């Protein structure tokens, strides 16, 4: 049996080249991309504006490449966690989060992670492998809620900027008119701050960037986020200050609050100093117990105090509502295979 080439995850130019190599006119590429990316159609027989003979030739050489989730788990708050079982034992989790005015999918960029952040369960897995652009885009196309999605966030398993090429290609497909046509302003990539990749991301995309900061004090952050030792947050902030104003994108900081660890007055003062004079937004996150008993959630009163002090300093800030904690889908809890 002939091995079929999957088309999901390819750019328009790559689809054109693939069709041409199989003797199919390049002009059909735009129609094929439309059916796969815009209509979420996985069968060539349903592509009704393509001649029957061409559909047959497509079926002989290609597949859509859709891979449906292997498992599904629904939270009491309406969030849904999906498990995808990719080749080579690379399991990844994807989370759909419905809200009144937006429907967001949180996608993974790696199976596991090498960064070893102490607050995150994914880091306990080690790295099982990078995902391809196809495997990233598939998480958007293959869930039942796909047609309802308004936002995509790269905040699932893995460090997106350790898989930059695949992430950038996935973003191209998600945002292109021939692709899913999602606005750059509705796509956000979260990172612990891999400095060379941050610079490339800012240069190559117009999507939003979130830096997971954990602490504005370098010595403290290095204990929580090992990447700080190589790529200090202060240096990353300098790059963001220089680059971001020339781009129409939102830059934000994710600050997971840990009782007695990073929620003191000195941490708050250092955080204000770090981002004063910028348009950067701070999202204050509640810690979810991932098995590390050295951490506890900051009290709601303390989180609100941080928010009020940041606002008083002219810094946009909010306390983010947790989603999917009861199914292990909240921030820091994804571990693959928990559905």
DSSP H or E segment with residue 30: helix 29-33
The two most distant CA atoms of the chain are separated, in Å, by 70
Query: What are the CA-CA distances from residue 328 to residues 21, 49, 125, 156, 231 (Å)?
Result: 45, 43, 15, 12, 29
**Rg of the Cα trace of the chain?**
21
Residue 279 and residue 296: Cα distance in Å, rounded?
A: 30
Q: Do the beta carbons of residue 112 and residue 336 sit within 8 Å?
A: yes
User: Which DSSP state fits 44?
Assistant: G
Bridge-based pairing state of the strands 80-86 and 71-74: antiparallel
259 is catalytic: no
Other C-beta atoms closer than 10 Å to the C-beta of 339 total: 17
Residue 136 and residue 200: Cα distance in Å, rounded?
A: 19
Q: CA angle, 137 as apex, 23 and 336 as ends, to 5°?
A: 130
172 is catalytic: no
Token pair belonging to 327: 């199914």
Q: Do the beta carbons of residue 296 and residue 43 sit within 8 Å?
A: no
- Secondary structure of 98-163 in HEC code, one letter for each residue: ECCCCEEEECCCEEECCCCCCCCCHHHHCEEEECCHHHHHHHHHCCCCHHHCCEEEECCCCCHHHH
Catalytic residue among 106, 117, 120, 331: 331
Catalytic residue among 93, 135, 159, 228: 93
Kindly list the catalytic residues. Answer: 93, 331
């Amino acid at each position: 049996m002939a091995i079929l080439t999957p088309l999901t995850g390819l750019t328009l130019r790559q689809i054109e080249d693939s069709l041409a190599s199989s003797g199919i006119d390049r002009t059909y590429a735009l129609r094929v991309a439309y059916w796969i990316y815009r209509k979420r159609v996985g069968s060539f027989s349903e592509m009704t504006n393509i001649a029957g003979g061409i559909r047959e030739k497509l079926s002989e050489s290609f597949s859509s490449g859709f891979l449906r989730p292997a498992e599904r788990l629904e939270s009491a708050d309406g969030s849904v966690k999906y498990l995808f079982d990719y080749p080579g034992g690379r399991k990844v989790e994807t989370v759909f989060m419905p809200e009144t005015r937006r429907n967001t999918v949180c996608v993974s960029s790696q199976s596991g992670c090498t960064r070893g952040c102490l607050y995150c369960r994914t880091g306990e897995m080690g790295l099982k492998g990078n995902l391809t652009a196809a495997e990233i885009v598939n998480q958007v196309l293959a869930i039942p809620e796909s047609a309802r999605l308004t936002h995509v966030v790269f905040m699932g398993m893995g460090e997106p900027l350790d898989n930059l090429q695949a992430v950038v290609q996935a973003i191209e497909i998600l945002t292109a008119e021939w692709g899913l046509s999602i606005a750059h302003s509705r796509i956000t990539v979260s990172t612990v701050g891999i400095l060379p990749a941050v610079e490339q991301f800012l240069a190559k995309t117009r999507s939003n960037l979130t830096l997971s900061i954990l602490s504005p004090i370098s010595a403290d952050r290095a204990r929580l986020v090992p990447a700080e030792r190589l790529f200090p947050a202060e240096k990353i902030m300098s790059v963001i200050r220089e680059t971001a104003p020339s781009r129409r994108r939102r830059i934000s900081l994710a600050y997971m609050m840990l009782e007695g660890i990073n929620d003191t007055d000195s941490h708050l003062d250092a955080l204000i100093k770090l981002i004063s004079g910028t348009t950067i937004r701070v999202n204050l996150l509640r810690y979810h117990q991932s098995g590390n008993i050295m951490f506890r959630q900051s009290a709601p009163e303390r989180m609100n105090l941080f928010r009020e002090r940041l606002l008083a300093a002219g810094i946009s800030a909010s306390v983010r509502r947790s989603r999917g904690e009861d199914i292990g889908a909240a921030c820091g809890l994804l571990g693959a295979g928990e559905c």
